[in-house]
Structure 1
């Protein structure tokens, strides 16, 4: 233990950013620098890319994506599966002789515990809502939906006498296997979890864990997965993971992984160019092309698929009075329902300079999408109308808003973006400049906010306006369309926009496997969203990443956008150094 602690301290010290030159990172060590923090290492609470990027390397799922494909799946902790009962029963054979980091051997009981724990807790900050929809017929937990009982959860996930894991669905879900590949559905160590104080896995105490926030759980502090890497140390500024000697798969070439939080882009960049960091959060295409491309020791991988969607959210029911200023349309604040007037939303949509964003942030390699859905996904409709920057139109809609009082009295709006996210900051600055130029009584205050705080506050409906994106949990249009546009979707509390027709169309799209019908319904949603402008759609860039030239395993050919790790599209265990 003393040796591990000493090594941990040395590695973290070596990764620290200092004003003096440092030696290049050792061949057996990967150093990564991010701007963001990591909210949790508990799979049941993992629902952001930063957390997912760590969890997917220290834990493992039953199935995973095959190579670079986002549709084809292959076994991981499972060895095979069978689908019976008209597509409603899934039976998995599990891999033998797999060890958790604690030393415990994985059994079917661990998998059953994992998925029942996800169904029992199903907290608002987790991705278990879409898993619960598949197995229980509702995305809610037992506190919010009284039809959920322990017996219902217990029947949904069971181990049979042969030691196979059996899922029983109430209705067909063609996306179920893809959902199991999500990092939040990773198998956890039952004995270890109970030992550190988590749910005991029985009916006796299940009600105490319903909807419980697990971000800061004991399992977050002391994870035990089956992944190729185990956690050695985590604090507010750094994470150290090391290759797990008992891993069932191929031994990784990289022994040590250091993830460090470095909010300042300039500091990350300097460390990267010196060779003291192998991968960094780069600040986007413009910065890569202007500051990193062509520099000694740097490799740039371009032309990567973009399967995320990003928008500026306008909250129609702001729950935090402290963010409202005066709380009135008197020039010194806004009312809580400021964005409930469609004229306000349209005015902001016309105020954003999409072409400037593509030019300044994406160096001309971006695309203005028609809807919040990757254009490579079925259901995307190129024919849906889009907003363009138009100051005259913005002025006209601001003059109509709230019976003319917005234009007459002005407003002060407080908006947030993720600290250290250059692209998000630039987007907000573009919007601020254009809105304030329309009327001297308009004021937009922008502020950087820590990622975890912004996630939690926006989820609680406290943020008046934020910019946030969505990376797919599974490769289906529903994962984007329902998430962004449904009043039952995950992002609804962040903008509180509701449209009865949109809700109906989205539910209809979920109830059919007919591709043409689903596509038509999603087109209707896209057109209605254009008319109602619940979001300002941020243009989608072409994927680009940079890494040090001695790092092997990052390439366009191997890139899988469903893997979270720092946009590299690969796992740590697939990397090596030359």
Structure 2
């Protein structure tokens, strides 16, 4: 502890530079704060990088694979029984929490029941509830949820065996349980910190409750390789947990620092005062960091984010509609409900130019809103290309010729500070306005928090949004984007009965080939109906100090919350 305290003091003093960070210490610098250390409410990567190292799930992704798992608190990866509706998990013995409490099945049972009780749209527990209770809602929003249902869905059959009971088969369930938000918490410790006591008598008091700032956020206790030492607004300190059941990590101390200024992070990185930093866009990294002494650049890593232009078919904000008519001064609320409008816009975006100029040639056009490394992705579906002739033809067909005849004024927003989104909007604006002088697109910067709220309420006309996976399964993307019951539906208001049917079938189809066929049908239908314009996917990279070992293309897993390294910190070491 004395050594850790000395290191911390030296690193946190402004202007003090170490010749090199000690071999047993990892220093991470990022720009934003860490919202929570409670896995029950973790639904962001900043928090997730801590919860996945302080806590542990039943199993995790094996190496860089998105489809293979290795056990953590389970002794093996289980197989389903009862037609895919029962999952029996044998739990590891002789495991301690950082509080000193022994890990038992009661902790696992409590953890999952707690997630079902407190489930809200702001946490990742909606997809656990969907699997175990048949609904994404909590008991406040869905009165069919009872304590009896929650208790029956996950329970211990003996002190070392946990049983999940699903109402119907869910081929994505194993992947869902690898999400860091489904980590196992210390029941006795949680109750001591003022958290839910796990009983039927009090469960209703905790339904949908926001756990941010709660007892486990302030004082976490997990079974992971690292435990919390201290935390304030600008730094978090972890040390290796001496009672960890697994192999002793080479890195004994984790020092995380909030450094908002990119230039300051770059300076510390180049000097060796930081091992890993939030580096920013490829263009900046290429210009200022790649090739510099002491740094290791790892390129061509998988990108598991899907991004698109949303074209809302039921725009709910009159302020964005102008005149509200097709008279050249505005648009009607249902402007994007005409497939000819959507296709015309899709042919107006310069995909190749975006890849060249914004992504420096490191980009790929996907056929669907699913990462091309995921199961279920198909390359056989066509993609749109920039084609002003085709765009003109579809604009002339839209609204029985009135779009071409009268023109329109479209008001769009992008996230303030998002250079890539702004550039994409500017490309689209330039190309559309060049087709017809009566076409006008106004683009405006908007604060992210307000943009999220307004888009959730269906107010935005056209915006760019992405989706990063909660679990490595195509359902997490395709249902999210394309289903009328999906998370993004209020932002697009696009509905197709066939797509809804195929996606619902895929959710309960265990046979991989049959499931992939359904997803291919969704992709083809989406190409034909064009509910979104797909933004090309960039190629990921990592850059770290070259004495840091354990970060490579073979170890990097894009499902890790720590996108800087793509690994659990316990696997890292230094020369």
Give the TM-score, by structure 1 length: 0.87
Structure 1 residues 549, 407: CA separation in 2 closer, same or farther (over 3 Å shift)? farther
- Which residue, 88, 91, 99 being the options, matches 1:94? 91
Q: CA deviation at 1:204?
A: 1.9
TM-superposition CA deviations, 1:203-227 (whole Å, max 9, x none) = 2222233333444544334333222
CA distance in 1, matches of 2:457, 2:249: 41
Residue 76 of structure 2: SS of its match in structure 1? strand
Q: CA deviation at 1:499?
A: 1.8
Q: Is 1:207 aligned to residue 204 of structure 2?
A: yes
Residue pair 1:8, 1:240 contacting (<8 A) in 2 also? no
CA distance in 1, matches of 2:338, 2:566: 41
Q: CA deviation at 1:158?
A: 0.9
CA distance in 2, matches of 1:63, 1:305: 22
TM-superposition CA deviations, 1:259-284 (whole Å, max 9, x none) = 34445544433332233332233334
TM-superposition CA deviations, 1:462-505 (whole Å, max 9, x none) = 55444333333333322221122112223323333222221011
Counterpart position of 1:13: 12
CA distance in 2, matches of 1:253, 1:13: 23
Structure 1 residues 146, 274: CA separation in 2 closer, same or farther (over 3 Å shift)? same
TM-superposition CA deviations, 1:119-160 (whole Å, max 9, x none) = 122211222222223222333332333322110110111112
CA distance in 2, matches of 1:324, 1:4: 58
Counterpart position of 2:266: 269
Counterpart position of 1:42: 38
CA distance in 2, matches of 1:536, 1:306: 18
Q: How does 1:387-466 map to 2 (within 5 A)?
A: 387-394=384-391, 397=394, 404=402, 408=406, 410-411=408-409, 413-417=411-415, 419=417, 422-435=419-432, 439=437, 442-447=440-445, 449=447, 458-461=455-458, 463-466=460-463
Q: CA deviation at 1:571?
A: 0.9
Q: Is 1:64 aligned to residue 60 of structure 2?
A: yes
CA distance in 1, matches of 2:100, 2:450: 35
Q: Is 1:536 aligned to residue 533 of structure 2?
A: yes
In terms of mean alpha carbon deviation, does 176-185 or 33-42 score higher?
33-42
Structure 1 residues 176, 202: CA separation in 2 closer, same or farther (over 3 Å shift)? same
Residue 80 of structure 1: SS of its match in structure 2? coil
Q: CA deviation at 1:448?
A: 6.2
Q: How does 1:61-460 map to 2 (within 5 A)?
A: 61-80=57-76, 82-83=78-79, 84-317=81-314, 324=320, 328=324, 338-394=335-391, 397=394, 404=402, 408=406, 410-411=408-409, 413-417=411-415, 419=417, 422-435=419-432, 439=437, 442-447=440-445, 449=447, 458-460=455-457
CA distance in 1, matches of 2:133, 2:395: 45
CA distance in 1, matches of 2:456, 2:7: 35
CA distance in 1, matches of 2:394, 2:460: 23
Q: CA deviation at 1:245?
A: 3.3
Give the TM-score, by structure 2 length: 0.87
Structure 1 residues 483, 163: CA separation in 2 closer, same or farther (over 3 Å shift)? same
Residue 565 of structure 1: SS of its match in structure 2? coil
TM-superposition CA deviations, 1:314-357 (whole Å, max 9, x none) = 34445567x73858458887666554444443343233221122
Residue pair 1:33, 1:262 contacting (<8 A) in 2 also? yes
Q: CA deviation at 1:370?
A: 0.7
TM-superposition CA deviations, 1:94-139 (whole Å, max 9, x none) = 2233333333332222111110111122211222222223222333
Q: Which runs of 5+ in 1 are unaligned?
A: none
Structure 1 residues 40, 360: CA separation in 2 closer, same or farther (over 3 Å shift)? farther
Q: Which runs of 5+ in 2 are unaligned?
A: none
Structure 1 residues 243, 394: CA separation in 2 closer, same or farther (over 3 Å shift)? farther
Structure 1 residues 203, 5: CA separation in 2 closer, same or farther (over 3 Å shift)? farther
Counterpart position of 1:468: 465
CA distance in 2, matches of 1:50, 1:63: 21
CA distance in 1, matches of 2:140, 2:51: 27
TM-superposition CA deviations, 1:511-532 (whole Å, max 9, x none) = 3233333233222211221222
Moved over 6 A (4+): 3-9, 330-335
Q: CA deviation at 1:295?
A: 1.4
Structure 1 residues 367, 40: CA separation in 2 closer, same or farther (over 3 Å shift)? same
Residue pair 1:228, 1:252 contacting (<8 A) in 2 also? yes
Residue pair 1:12, 1:238 contacting (<8 A) in 2 also? no
Aligned residues: 571
Q: CA deviation at 1:64?
A: 1.4
Q: Is 1:515 aligned to residue 526 of structure 2?
A: no
Residue pair 1:398, 1:407 contacting (<8 A) in 2 also? no
In terms of mean alpha carbon deviation, does 105-114 or 87-96 score higher?
87-96
Structure 1 residues 89, 258: CA separation in 2 closer, same or farther (over 3 Å shift)? same
CA distance in 2, matches of 1:144, 1:444: 38
Residue 12 of structure 2: SS of its match in structure 1? helix
CA distance in 2, matches of 1:40, 1:46: 7
Q: CA deviation at 1:62?
A: 0.8
Residue 381 of structure 2: SS of its match in structure 1? coil
Residue 212 of structure 1: SS of its match in structure 2? coil
Residue pair 2:59, 2:77 contacting (<8 A) in 1 also? no
Structure 1 residues 67, 500: CA separation in 2 closer, same or farther (over 3 Å shift)? same
In terms of mean alpha carbon deviation, does 325-334 or 224-233 score higher?
325-334
Residue 154 of structure 1: SS of its match in structure 2? helix
Residue pair 1:283, 1:422 contacting (<8 A) in 2 also? no
Q: CA deviation at 1:432?
A: 4.5
CA distance in 2, matches of 1:316, 1:216: 38
Q: CA deviation at 1:249?
A: 2.2
CA distance in 2, matches of 1:478, 1:150: 28
CA distance in 2, matches of 1:4, 1:254: 14
In terms of mean alpha carbon deviation, does 441-450 or 304-313 score higher?
441-450
